[in-house]
Structures are given as C-alpha cells and as structure tokens.
Amino acid sequence: MLAGVGLEAQEPAAVQFQLDGSTALAPRIGERIELLPVLRLLGAEVAFSPAAGTYGVQLGEHAIQFSPDRQYLLVDGRLEDAGEKPIASPGGVAASLHFLERSLLAPLGFRLEPADAGFLVVTGARAVRIVDVRPVVADFATTTTLVLTLSEQVKVELVQGERKLTFRMTEAEPRLDTSLSLRSERVKDMASRGSELIITLSRGVGLLSWHQLDDPPRLTIELGKERAGPPPTRQEAVEQVAVAVVIDPGHGGSDQGAVASSGQLEKDLVLQIARRLAATLESRGYTVRLTRNGDEERALTDRTAVANRRNARAFISLHANSSKVAAVRGAETYYMSLDKSATDAAAAATARAENEPSGVPVASSPLNLILWDLAQAEVLNESARLALGIQNHLNNHLGLRDRGVKQAPFVVLTGATMPAALVEVGFVSNPDEEQLLRDASHQQLLAEAIALGVQEFLAGS
Amino acid sequence: MKRRVLWIAAAAAASVALLSLLVVMALRTPARKAAETPTMTPVVPTPAPEQRVILLFAGVDDLLHPELRSVPYPAEVGERARIVVSELAAGPRGGLHPVFPYSVQVRGVFVDGRGQAFVDLDPPSEPLTGSSTELLMTYAVVNSILLNCPELDTVQLLFGGREVKTLAGHLDLSRPLSLNKGFIATS
C-alpha cells in the first residue's frame, strides 16, 4: 500500500506519496508535480536519454517512454495520446496528477485513490484502463433513452439499487465527460467513482432495458415508469427485444400526410409498402418491427424511441411525397444532417445552460434536442451508407436518374441511436406516379429495392 | 436703520427682477429652438443602389434553381435579408415555380449580432403536406438569404411570431439552419 499526503501548508510545496511504509516527496511545480520521485518510489528503473530527449521507465514487464514537451508517449510499444505535455523541471520532468495517474501509474499497475482524510493514496493494482464516457440523454413522452458512448469496449455489469443504477467496469475506470449539460426529468444525477458509473434516477423511474453495443462501443439504457417484478438483465433484454430493423410508416391517425387528387392518402400507402417491406425482410430471416401496424397516431419522437428500446440495427421511415408542381416525380432517400450551426449552437447553449437556474423544462429545451443530435452523429457515416444503399437499389429497380441522397434535419430521425434513413417512395401529387404507388406490383418493387439496400447494409456492418 | 431697510428692499426687488428674467428666458428658449427646426437641412435617406440578387425557386426536378433579379440592394444586412424574402414571396418571374405553397405574408425579418437571421412568416391556413414542399420552401428562404448575405451564418423560420417544431411533419424547424447546397440544382 502506497499513501501520499498533500502537505497542508499555506502553499503546499510538495505532495507526499507512500508505498508500503516508504515515502517520497514530489515537489509541486505550479499545477504540476515532479514525476521522478514517484516513479522511483514504485521501484521503477528510470533513465534519461540526452540524445533522444526521452525518459525510459521500466518496471517488471512494462516499459514506458515519454518526453518533456510531447503529449504522445510509448506504452509497452503502443503510441498513446496523453492529452497534455509534461515539462522539463528542476527535478527532471513534471506533469499533472492526471498525467501521472493515467499515463504512467495505470500502465505500470498502480493508481491513485483519495484517502479518507482527502489525501492521495496509491495502491498496487492491475493495470487499469481509463474509459471516457460521453453521455447523451433524450426524454420522450413516456420513456427516456440514455446513450453512454465509451472510448473503448469494456466488460460491464449492472448492479441495481433503489433509484440507482451502478455500472461496474472490469479492469477499467469510467471517466465521465461533464462538458455536456445533462438534463432529464428521469435522470437525477450521473457520476463516475473508481470503476463505477452511478446513475441516480428520479422518483418513480425504473430501468426498462439496457444493451451493450459495438461500433461505436456504447451502452443504451431505456428508462420509464418503475414497475414491479425482477429488474431486466442485459441478456433477457436482448433476447426479448433484439430486432434487426424498425420500419416506420409515416403519419397515421388524424395525421393523413399527403392527399392525392384521387383521395388516396399517404398514411395508407406507406403502411401498405411498410408491410410488404417487413414481409420481404422477414422472409429472408430478419427480425422486423413496425412503429405502427394500423391507422394509429404516433408522436414523431416516440417512433425512434421504439427503435432505441428494441435495440434495432437500422431505422427506416417511409413516406410518400407531394409537390405543387404536378410534374415532379421519383423516389429519394434522406439521412440526418448535422451542420456546423447545430454543433456551434450546442456549444453556445451548453455555455448558456451553465448559467441558467435548474428546472428548465426538458422537453422544450432546444439544448436538449440539439445535444440529442449527437446520438445520431455517432452513427452518421453508417446512416449515409444505409441511405446510399437504399437509393442505389431504388435507382436500379425504378430506372431513376441518380440524384444521390440528401441530408436534412428530419424530426423523425432525430434521436435514433442506430443508422437511420427516410425514404420518400414517390409523389402522390403526380397522377401517373400516384397510380403506380397504388399498384401492388410496384409496391413490391419498392419493398424489394429497399430490402436489398437494408440487407446490404446489415451484411456490411 | 431706515437706510438698511431700503437696501434690503432694493436687493429684494433686484432678485425678483433677475428671477423673472430667468423664468422668461427659460420659457422662451424651447420656443426659439422649435422655431429653428424648419430651417435645418432635412435628412433624406440615400436610395439603395440596384444590384442583382440570387433568388431560389422550384424546378420540375424538385430542386431549387436560381433566378437573378435587380432590386435595391441595401448595405444593411437585415434590410437586405428582408428584401430577399419579400422577393421570394412575390414569386418567380421566369419559368420556375413558387416555393411558398400558399400566399404568404412576410411579418418581419431581423438579424441578431451573432450572424443569425430570423424570418417571421404568416402561418399556412391549412396544414402543408409532403416533405418536398417543406424542404423547398425552407431551403429556398435559408439558402437565398445566406447566398445574398454572406455576413450571416444561419436562418431560423418563425410562423406567426412563434417557433414551430415542424410544418408538414418532416423537417425540424425549431433550430437555426445553415446553407444546404443539396437542394440547389447543379445543372
């Protein structure tokens, strides 16, 4: 056991570290501390190469090379970005406690821990990886989706307490990104402590499901009204709700969508095509779920919530188009746009939010919605690949001139945590195309084209 | 004693006379200023020079096409943005199609100090349908303003003075939008 004591002078001149009864004093250099006394306390061999300007640290099977004024270092042969530069100092080299812990101690099998009295303690441990965790939260009408994007994949287990979810990482420590404002009516607080990430829920809120996903490594957590019975485990949740594709027939209920001059309604046409697409994909072994399978009204945000909750691998929203220009025709595919203004606005809004009193209504907060775009940002390249694949097959099947795919901030795609695309199957305002869209064989042609695009995407992901 | 009283009486009379003079002058000063106003040279606004603006209207390919139009071109960016939107609302003069699916009134156009324009339009009397309608109308306004006002970065559409989530159930209008060239025809 190694303990370090911060000297509580007016201006502490040094930090004292202890390891199994031995002590070392690391003088402070401004915000930094001298590194060499700590490394020697560990029993590491430290050598400086004047020719290369680098320090070599050897302890057991581990070897680290680093240099003053360089933020990259070699750890057991791997190049790592420390995110900050150590500096040359009177004692040799100095850096922050964060650099010492993350870039030197952790690879050598040690870590710093706060002691009861608030002093630093270094304990011998297995090498601990620091995993950055970026949280994004979105409140929907009855549920909340929380996405925790991890800098690398780690083994995670969940321990549930009363209004508390504790995600425990194996041989890794979460480091929560607190630069993003996190406001949710169902998540009260989130914090990382040691190997644990602790989420405190609001009163009456419980865990509905959670999943661990790859590309990028992330945890998706679905919260809602607390319910009786055993809490869901990750395995049960995946077995119950694993769905490859969620298909969203646009509009529904009192929202009719576009209306053709013949009286044909967009909401009915897209439901017919969605059912054909679902049947086509299911016949090829895919699991499919529709956001509506009848003439039901669905809030736009709840449509992606279905896909998030069901752990879908792709989300396809189907629509039929309408234009005042009767000659316009053709099918098109869109995916979400995240332009610079949105990210700039998010940064500005985050700064503003820091100065605002708490209790701002979450659902109406533009900050919340802008930040939520970041969920789709994580998979934007995949969304582009999905949209391109679908459009290519639509072009081939329907003999369309390739106009590529377009990007725009569609409400229904906002908040999808998986690759998502919106397909406009054609214009009901064009009498010829409207007649085609009602035709069963044309509907099947559209379903086949979209299914091929989805299949190609799923096979390649 | 008598002489002292006379001095006091004389000083009091002089004070009253001085006070009366000051009051009269104070009352007369504004009248004199008002009388001077008509003699000042009136300030006549300098007419904005004519310049060609780029206006985007719909083509039969469901994309936006440019129409160049000579209009007064004020240096003040908010006024320039207002002229662009008014010209868009007036509709195309060539072979292109209108981007507003209803007879729209421009309630106001204003810019903030951070490169963002707000365009306040009358809301449609009936719900709009079709993402094409929503996309072309929105990006005709956003792109036309940003092409003619390079000082601006984003445009947000308001309807009836309010922020709306969406008009036809597709596009998210509750946010400022930046230039989107995907909807402008390249040929």
B101 vs A contacts (CB less than 8 Å): 324
Q: A321 and B130 in contact by Cβ < 8 A?
A: yes
End position of a domain, from candidates A208, A240, A272: A240
- The reply to whether B30 and B55 lie within a common domain is no
Q: Is residue B96 domain-resident?
A: yes
Which of A251, A325, A424 is closest, CB to CB, to B60? A325
Per the domain annotation, does B92 fall within a domain? yes
Query: What pLDDT, on the 0 to 100 scale, is given for residue B124?
Result: 92
Beta bridge partner(s), residue B97: B58
Q: What was the pLDDT predicted at A76?
A: 77
Q: Side by side, which strands form the sheet with B154-159?
A: B106-111, B116-121, B154-159, B162-163
Give chain B's domain count.
Answer: 2
- Alpha-carbon gap, residue B101 to B104, rounded angstroms: 8
Q: Does A370 touch chain B (CB under 8 A)?
A: yes
Does residue A422 contact residue A412 with C-beta atoms inside 8 Å? yes
Q: Cα distance from B109 to chain A (closest Cα, Å)?
A: 19
Quick check: B172 and A406 CB within 8 A?
no
Domain span including residue B30: 2-39
Question: Which of the listed residues A218, A240, A262 is the one where a domain comes to its end?
Answer: A240
Read off φ and ψ for residue A270, nearest 5 degrees.
-70, -30
Residues 295..354 of A with a Cβ closer than 8 Å to B: which?
300, 319, 321-325, 327-328, 330, 332, 334, 337, 339-342, 345
Mean local confidence (pLDDT), B149-176: 92
B89 shares a domain with B29: no
Q: Which domain holds residue A168?
A: 129-240
| C-beta separation of B119 from B141 below 8 A | yes
Q: How many domains does chain A have?
A: 3
pLDDT tens per residue across all 461 residues of chain A: 444 444 444 556 888 887 777 788 889 998 899 999 999 888 888 988 887 788 999 888 788 889 898 888 888 776 677 878 999 999 999 999 888 888 888 888 887 776 554 346 566 555 567 888 888 777 776 778 788 888 888 889 898 888 899 999 887 888 888 776 677 889 999 888 878 899 999 999 999 888 887 767 888 888 888 877 666 655 444 434 456 899 999 999 999 999 999 999 999 999 999 999 999 999 888 899 999 999 999 988 889 888 888 889 999 999 999 998 898 999 999 999 875 544 444 444 444 444 443 333 333 334 444 444 556 767 888 999 999 999 999 998 887 777 779 999 898 988 788 999 999 999 999 999 999 999 999 999 999 999 999 988 988 76
Whether residue B45 is contained in a domain is answered as no
Mean pLDDT across B155-160: 95
Residue B45 has pLDDT above 70, yes or no: no
Question: Which of A124, A148, A171 is the C-terminal boundary of a domain?
Answer: A124
Average pLDDT over residues B109-134: 92
Q: Shortest CB distance from A342 goes to which of B98, B175, B183?
A: B175
A173 plus A206 within the same structural domain:
yes
Asked whether residue A200 falls in the same domain as residue A150, the answer is yes
Contacts of residue A266 in chain B, CB cutoff 8 Å?
A: 129
Q: How far is the C-alpha of A458 from the C-alpha of A52, rounded, in Å?
A: 49
Looking at the fold, whether B34 and B56 belong to one and the same domain comes out as no
Check if B172 contacts A (Cβ < 8 Å).
yes
Q: Quick one: A182 and A307 in the same domain?
A: no
Taking contacts as CB-CB distances below 8 angstroms, the residues of chain A near B182 are 404, 406-408
From the list A257, A328, A341, the residue facing B178 with the nearest CB is: A341
Residue A81's CATH number? 3.30.457.10
DSSP character string of A223-278: EEE--SSSPPPHHHHHHHH--SEEEEE--BTTB---B-TT--BHHHHHHHHHHHHH
Whether A323 sits inside 8 A of B180 (CB atoms) is: no
Q: Quick one: B64 and B88 in the same domain?
A: yes
If asked whether residues A170 and A200 sit together in one domain, one would say yes
For B13-36, write each residue's pLDDT tens digit.
555 555 555 544 544 444 444 444
State whether B105 and B162 are in the same domain: yes
ipTM for this model: 0.72
Is residue B91, in this structure, part of any structural domain at all? yes
Residue B122, domain member (yes or no): yes
Q: What is the mean pLDDT of chain B?
A: 82
Q: At B124, list the tokens.
A: 């449609």
Q: How far apart are CA B104 and CA B82, in angstroms?
A: 14
- Same domain (yes/no): B55, B141: yes
8 Å CB contact between A120 and A112: yes
DSSP A72-121: EEEETTEEEE-SS--EEETTEEEE-HHHIIIIIIHHHTEEEEE-TTS-EE
Mutation pick from A322, A371, A400 vs chain B, by most beta carbons of B within 10 Å, is A322
Q: Are residues A292 and A396 in the same domain?
A: yes
B8 & B77 share domain: no
Judged by DSSP in three states, B128 sits in coil
Q: Does A259 touch chain B (CB under 8 A)?
A: yes
Residues A48, A174 within the same domain: no
Is the same domain home to A256 and A331? yes
CB atoms near residue A171 (< 10 Å): 12
- Residue B72 sits in the same domain as residue B95: yes
CATH number where A194 lies: 2.60.40.3470
Contact between B169 and A257 using a beta-carbon 8 Å cutoff? yes
**Residue B135 shares a structural domain with residue B66:** yes
Name A23's Cβ contacts closer than 8 Å, sequence gap at least 6. Answer: A16, A17, A41
Same domain, A201 and A99: no
- Asked whether residue A181 falls in the same domain as residue A100, the answer is no
Pairwise CB contact (< 8 Å): A323 & B154: no
User: Which chain B positions have a beta carbon within 8 Å of A341's beta carbon?
Assistant: 153-154, 175-178
Calpha distance A126→A110 (Å, rounded): 7
Chain A partners within 8 Å of B95 (Cβ): none
Residue of A nearest to B61 (CA): A328
Report the pLDDT value the prediction gives residue A127, as an integer from 0 to 100.
53
CB contact under 8 A, A340 and B132: no
Residues B30 and B56 in one domain: no
Does A429 lie in the same domain as A318? yes
| Residue B92: φ, ψ to 5° | -75, 155
DSSP structure string for A401-447: PP---EEE-BGGGTT-SS-EEEEEEEETTSHHHHHHHHSHHHHHHHH
Residue A314's pLDDT is: 95
B81 and B172: one domain? yes
Which residues between 97 and 116 in chain B have a beta carbon less than 8 angstroms from any beta carbon of chain A? 97-98, 101
Residue B170 in contact with partner chain A when CB distance is under 8 A: yes
Q: Does pLDDT of B177 surpass 70?
A: yes
In a domain, B124, yes or no: yes
Q: Is residue B174 part of a domain?
A: yes
- Chain B CB within 8 Å of residue A248 CB: no
Nearest-CB residue to B180 (from A257, A370, A408):
A408
**Distance between first and last Cα of chain A:** 46
B67/B112 same-domain check: yes
CB B98 to CB A322 under 8 A?
A: no
- Note which residues in 3-62 of chain B have CB less than 8 A from chain A: 58, 60-62
Claim to verify: residue A91 and residue A197 sit in the same structural domain: no
- Predicted confidence at residue A116, as pLDDT, reads 55
